[in-house]
């Protein structure tokens, strides 16, 4: 969660120049706030996301700070955006939908596979006790950790490595969110779910489906919940 005052300090550093414009020609912070609230109402709540904790996190996390320079004006559009290295920051609705489907609790420990920009990481960190985030591309992991540290998050741990292997030293997890698509659910991730745990993961090498995996005392159950398009899990 944000350390008090950290976001305001970062936004002040991002702002500058005549007319309240941010360095680099982006939109002023007050306009970003309005665009973010409009995004939540028109793209997320209007499409059926109801969890008040998810909506509050989406209203709070400044997506424009997680996109590459020059893309800030598109940060609150209903679309994914490239972040480099062939990866993307997910569409806001998909971030909210995946988070809500996990039915998170405040005391949960969550594994995120595919840190990417760190935006989804921040949304998770607003809701749960601790997030363990794995990213295979070292530069993306470093960039995301710097952004999240500046924003004051202290309940996130980062690792660079193969996300399909999970994070065995910290398992089991109450929830797992995978932000890239393997051809099938990796067995290691299935095994690292606690009993009662939930995993949301895009699956498929062509057509893709978001699959919700639940672990019970008898094994795991799966259900397809939404057709999607994600970058491949590498």
| Residues designated catalytic | 90
Radius of gyration of the chain (CA): 17
DSSP per position, 135-178? ESSHHHHHHHHHHHHHTT--SEEEEES-GGG--GGG--EEEEEE
> What CA–CA distance (Å, rounded) separates 127 from 161?
25
Nearest to 172 by CA among 154, 153, 188, 155: 188
Name beta bridge partners: 159. 134
CB pairs under 8 A, 24+ apart, for 170-174?
Answer: 170/109, 170/111, 170/132, 171/111, 172/197, 173/109, 173/110, 173/111, 173/132, 173/197, 174/104, 174/105, 174/107, 174/108, 174/109, 174/110, 174/128, 174/198
């Amino acid at each position: 969660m944000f350390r008090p005052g950290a976001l305001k300090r970062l936004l002040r550093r991002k702002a500058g120049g005549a007319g309240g414009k941010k360095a680099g020609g982006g939109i002023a912070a007050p306009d970003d706030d309005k665009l973010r609230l409009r995004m939540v109402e028109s793209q997320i709540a209007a499409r059926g996301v109801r969890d008040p904790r998810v909506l509050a996190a989406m209203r709070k996390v400044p997506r424009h700070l997680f996109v590459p320079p020059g893309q800030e004006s598109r940060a609150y559009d209903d679309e994914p955006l490239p972040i480099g290295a062939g990866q993307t920051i997910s569409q806001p609705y998909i971030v909210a939908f995946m988070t809500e489907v996990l039915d998170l609790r405040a005391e949960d420990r969550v594994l995120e596979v595919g840190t990417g920009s760190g935006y989804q990481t921040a949304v998770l960190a607003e809701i749960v006790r601790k997030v363990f985030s794995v990213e295979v591309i070292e530069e993306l992991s470093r960039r995301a950790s710097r952004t999240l540290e500046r924003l004051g998050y202290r309940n996130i741990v980062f690792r660079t490595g193969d996300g399909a292997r999970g994070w065995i030293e910290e398992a089991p997890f109450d929830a797992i969110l995978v932000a890239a698509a393997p051809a099938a659910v990796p067995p290691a991730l299935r095994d690292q779910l606690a009993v009662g745990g939930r995993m949301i993961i895009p699956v498929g090498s062509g057509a893709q489906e978001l699959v919700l995996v639940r672990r019970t005392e008898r094994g795991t159950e799966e259900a397809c919940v939404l057709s999607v398009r994600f970058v491949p899990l590498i």
